[in-house]
Amino acid sequence: MSPEKPININIESDAPLLQEFIPEVMEHLENIERGSLVLESAPDDASTLNMIFRAFHTVKGGAGFLNLVAIGELAHQLESMLDMIRQHKLRIDTNIIDLILKGADTLKNFFTEIDAQVKGLQPVGPITFPTEPLKERVREAISGQSAPAAPAPAAATPPAQPEPSAPQEPAKAKKAKKPKATKAPEETNTTPATVAPAEPAAPTAPPPSEPAAAPAPTSSDAAQAEPAAPAPAPAAPAAPTDAGEGGQRMDKAQMARAAAAEQSFVKVGTQKLDMLVDLVGELVITQSLIAQSPHLDADAKQALARSFSHLHRVTKELQRSTMSMRMVPIRATFQKMNRIVRDVAAKQNKRVQLVLEGEGTELDRNIIEEIGDPLVHMIRNAVDHGLESPEEREAIGKPAEGRIVLRAFHQGGSIIIQIQDDGKGLNQERLFAKAVEKGLISSQAHLTEKEIFDLIFLPGFSTASTVTDISGRGVGMDVVRQNIEKLRGKIEIESQVGKGSTFTIFMPLTLAIIDGLIVSVGPERYILPTLSVRESLRATSDMLSTVYGRGELLNVRGHFIPLLRLHDLFDVEPEFRRIEDGVLVVVEFGRMTRCILADRLLGKQEIVIKSLGETFQDNRLVAGGAILGNGRVGLILNVANLVQPTAC
């Protein structure tokens, strides 16, 4: 076996090219991963196969241009294997999918390390990851071990098939530039993705020598013929043509659509986008300050009313458009879970069907970046802890294939993300006993069902009987809850023994700007997110009741809602203490409601959330601060924590 070839990058000359090329490659590798999982359940999906082929071809071309030899050779071998599949000389099976995924993982490792060196996070030096064993496995697959559709001699033909069409691809790419090649896998993934345990590959014989497949220089000829494009763009989307051409031919309508798609998107750095959002927020504050300035007399306000109205409309529209730039679909995060389910199911010898719903639901970009790790941990737990083995499921009358549903939707001004499985469910008695055994609670404790389920969020808690590389150390679910609460969200659990569990995550739409309802308590101003406000009302004294152990309750249309007095929570001297003198605001989060007593209702306003720093970091009732229209500072209340029983 040949020795591994290290990659040495020239930071001085290649850094600008790599900064442009690496994000494009990472996008291609994500598309390869999603597309591979689509092919596993739909091996005849020609458009997805062509998309993966072009993605590897683009990586190969860029690697050749930048002299990343090890990357170019690996991408060339994988591209050759895919071309054999396109010619129906190889059949897609579990082994082929494993090779594609392992190849994408290895390339991702290379580019992650290159990116770290370019950004100065790692010292510059040779980069080596094992590729020879993987390339050997790819050559064995190409040699004909998996080819049922063609005679053995044809399957063993050296894989030089992509080369004749390769020179055409740059020309296509120049016309269509950078079209979206991700449509096919994303649309296909809206259907359930079935993941079965990996089957062992058929025994393979030593591969025959393949002089045409091994050398990398021949793989880069097409790429080096493109001096004008240091980071080659992917070829145009596949048209439904014959398999021999692999979808390279495009009609004029398709080329026009691809060109239009290219003109509709511009890559912008996240720092620039965040700066724009901050500036628009300051503009909103300034507009409010001017409109409510006490220095403007009544005549001046009347004369400027039309201009103020126009300024308000323009500012609001600018704010809405800017905020929409931060909103991105959760689709990419959801589709990554296909790979997690596939890998964990294979290790556990389980059969799992993952169903994705609501992939188009949009969240704040920052929330999506932070929610990924908690979702990964919970999906792994659902496969490992939640679902039984196929034998256990069949023994109790369930289908051998377990089912996990991952969905997102809007509800009550929040984004709801649910992970639902049809597994064994949470056993309350076992959870309680395990918590007592670990000394986390007293054996005499009287807990509700919700409190027992919440035990799994305690640090060090685990019901796993053995420690594996997936779970068993009691680390994870406590971090999951901490990360969710850090984003002003919360998590709830519903479960039935033998029927499964549902984990529901409540998240805010955005972390930057909210609509706020401003209330006063004495000299202070407090802000309630309007999406959490159900109603406001005036009360009479007969609506108030005091229940032992539960505090004050307010009878609102026959429903008793716990009463919170803001002046007691924040130790402020109020203007009114009797409920009939003040104003009551009913807020809700999830299925819990609270009735808040304040002095006055001052109005509604667009609120730009400002961090309060370390001073308020331990106050769970405050989510941030805001500069109001009159220049005063108000505290934004964290409704998620406000409605908790401990807040009463």
Determine the pLDDT at residue 271: 75
Determine the pLDDT at residue 1: 58
Residue 569 has pLDDT above 80, yes or no: yes
The angle that helices 46-65 and 94-118 make with each other, rounded to 10 degrees, is 40
Residue 495 has pLDDT above 70, yes or no: yes
Determine the pLDDT at residue 437: 87
Whether the predicted model's global pTM rises above the 0.75 cut: no
Tell me: domain 1-160, CATH 1.20.120.160, correct? Answer: yes
Asked if residue 85 lies in contact with residue 96, where contact means CB atoms within 8 angstroms, the answer is yes
User: 3-class DSSP state for residue 468?
Assistant: coil
Determine the pLDDT at residue 646: 61
Q: What is the CATH number of domain 330-508?
A: 3.30.565.10
Contacts of 24 (CB under 8 A, 6+ apart): 58, 62, 178, 231, 233
Q: Which whole-number Å values give the CA distances from 207 to 93, 139, 142, 162, in the listed order?
A: 19, 7, 9, 21
pLDDT band at 276 (very low <50, low <70, confident <90, very high): confident
* CATH match for 513-647 among 2.40.50.180, 3.20.20.70, 3.40.190.10, 1.20.1250.20: 2.40.50.180
- Which residues, in sequence order, are bridge partners of residue 608? 513
Q: Which whole-number Å values give the CA distances from 575 to 524, 583, 648, in the listed order?
A: 11, 11, 21
Cα 137 to its chain centre, rounded Å, is 32
Taking the domains of the chain in order of start, what are their residue ranges?
1-160, 270-327, 330-508, 513-647
Highest mean pLDDT among 225-229, 577-581, 609-613: 577-581
Asked if residue 462 lies in contact with residue 472, where contact means CB atoms within 8 angstroms, the answer is yes
Segment 302-329 mean pLDDT: 78
Strand order in the sheet with 500-508: 193-195, 351-357, 401-411, 414-421, 500-508, 490-496
Of the listed ranges 22-36, 238-252, 443-457, 515-529, the least confidently predicted one is 238-252
pLDDT band at 512 (very low <50, low <70, confident <90, very high): low
pLDDT band at 503 (very low <50, low <70, confident <90, very high): very high
DSSP 8-class letter at 122: S
The DSSP code sequence of 546-598 is: EETTTEEEEEETTEEEEEEEHHHHTT---S--STTTSEEEEEEETTEEEEEEE
Highest mean pLDDT among 177-181, 273-277, 342-346: 342-346
Task: Tell whether the torsion through CA atoms of 419, 42, 184 and 19 is positive or negative.
Answer: positive
Nearest of 352, 417, 433, 356 to residue 385 by alpha carbon? 352
Determine the pLDDT at residue 574: 92
Of the listed ranges 103-117, 227-241, 461-475, the least confidently predicted one is 227-241
In angstroms, rounded to a whole number, what is the distance separating the alpha carbons of residues 437 and 474? 14
Residue 22 has pLDDT above 60, yes or no: yes
Of the listed ranges 387-396, 440-449, 493-502, the least confidently predicted one is 440-449
pLDDT band at 470 (very low <50, low <70, confident <90, very high): low
Residue 520 has pLDDT above 70, yes or no: yes
Determine the pLDDT at residue 147: 39
**Given the DSSP bridges, would you call strands 500-508 and 633-637 parallel, antiparallel or unpaired?**
unpaired
Determine the pLDDT at residue 89: 87
* CATH match for 270-327 among 1.10.1740, 1.10.287, 1.10.3110, 1.10.10: 1.10.287
Highest mean pLDDT among 8-17, 307-316, 385-394: 385-394
Mean pLDDT across the chain, nearest whole number?
A: 75
Nearest of 610, 615, 599 to residue 566 by alpha carbon? 599
What is the helix (H) or strand (E) element at residue 10, kind and residue range?
none
Strand order in the sheet with 533-537: 533-537, 583-589, 592-598, 559-565, 551-556, 544-547
pLDDT digits (tens, 9 = 90+) for 203-224: 333 333 333 333 333 333 333 3
